[in-house]
Amino acid sequence: MTPDVSAPTTLVILAAGQGTRMKSRQPKVMHRLAGRSMIRHVLDAAAALSPRLAVVVVAPGMDQVAAEVAPALTAVQEPALGTAHAVAAARAHLAGAQGGVLVLFGDTPLITAETLLRLRQALAAPERPGVVVLGFRPADPLAYGRLVLDSDGNLERIVEFGEATAEERTIGLCNAGAMAFDAELLPHLLDGIRNDNAKGEYYLTDAVALARAMGRTVAMVEGDADEVLGVNSRAELAVAEAVLQKRLRQAAMDGGATLTDPGSVQFSWDTRLGRDVVIGPNVVFGPGVVVADDVEIKAFCHLEGAQVASGAVIGPFARLRPGAEIGQDAHIGNFVEIKKASIGPGAKVNHLSYVGDAEVGAKANIGAGTITCNYDGFDKHLTRIGAGAFIGSNTALVAPVSVGDGAIIGAGSVVARDVAADALAVTRGDHVEKPGWAARFRAAKARLKAAKARE
């Protein structure tokens, strides 16, 4: 008999921790990894289960978390009296639940969909365990609770480190926290959990012994140590970021991208790369970047909210800000910043320029030092540069302004009026030259300096 993994799943995610060790004004689960909050990472992993319902347990006043997890429901735990008490806070939403209830933690953001699927599969096994516990084997077990298995490989009990015997402390299998419950059994387990312990709290781990006392087996699924990493401090947040970046780099390379120095590249959770993309050292991707096939991104570039079409070359030292759309085979060179602007196919902005709130036509050439002056102190305005136009170096385009197809702007111009197609526009002043003036100037300055020295 194969497990019934089609049974409905309900999620309960515990996120009420204030995270005092983070020393932050925002809730712990709102801190970000690869550009996304920890709680959203957990919800995204759990989405693979197609849950019928998700409930996030928060503390009073955590409106920011409630907004972040929407449309998931929230339940308020007040006061904070342990993990079982937190699950009980969601009890009103769990009425009539069938199948399984997965209890996860909002500060364990690296858990994978594959592990959650195995938890659900274990819960639906033919022996119908009442509880499934996620275990792991850390390199150093430290003070983790130990998982004691019986001769059949079922979980017998969870022993907290402080209460473990010397022999039990040698067990390398530890409690990761996440648990799955038979939905019909869970209310009875919550009713049976007591707070007769040193802290006076209701511990969800007590459900293991209760389920066995009721004649139900308790199964265990083992996960990887990295994916059950809990984040309680800024240092642990940095460790989790490193683990996630390693995953993202591997996924990028598995998908057909070349990273010449993988360890120096930083990805966002949603970065999308095509095939045969080449990424140089020290490139940073913020959220919302889509890169097509055959793109080269050279060293020290920063991209966020940008789209790059096939064959484009970016950098080195280029910055693509939100709304940047780089066309096929376009070139964006060193120390160029693009913001809310479309750069047409084959166009070139090769160095030392700012192009913002603009439309640049195909095969246009933007000379060094060009600036689209898009902001007048109150509003942003659009600059249009036609196909094949040539913008000379050190040009200021004062928006709103249009440069027609094929037009040429002389270097050093300040263009504040529209330029017709195929026209030449030059706004430099007349060349004035005074022979010998520089020598006379230097001599006068030398005499003045000598006079001051004699005083």
Q: Which amino acid is it at 437?
A: W
Q: Assess contact for 53 and 10: CB atoms under 8 A.
A: yes
Q: Kindly give the pairing relationship between strand 100-105 and strand 174-182.
A: antiparallel
CB atoms inside a 10 Å sphere around CB 316? 16
Token pair 């389920």 is found at 211
Closest by CA position to 210, among listed 241, 179, 235, 247: 179
Q: Kindly give the pairing relationship between strand 174-182 and strand 383-385.
A: unpaired
Annotated catalytic, 351? Answer: yes
Closest by CA position to 101, among listed 163, 187, 206: 187
Q: What's the DSSP call for residue 69? A: H
Closest by CA position to 46, among listed 107, 120, 98: 120
Q: Assess contact for 405 and 420: CB atoms under 8 A.
A: no
| Catalytic position from the list 31, 41, 351, 431 | 351
Phi/psi at 209 (nearest 5 deg)?
-65, -40
- Give the tokens for residue 40: 């959203």
The Cα-based distances of 451 to 11, 311, 440, 442, 445 in angstroms read 88, 65, 17, 14, 10
Phi/psi at 186 (nearest 5 deg)?
-55, -45
Q: What's the DSSP call for residue 168? A: G
- Give the tokens for residue 98: 């069938």
Active site residues: 351
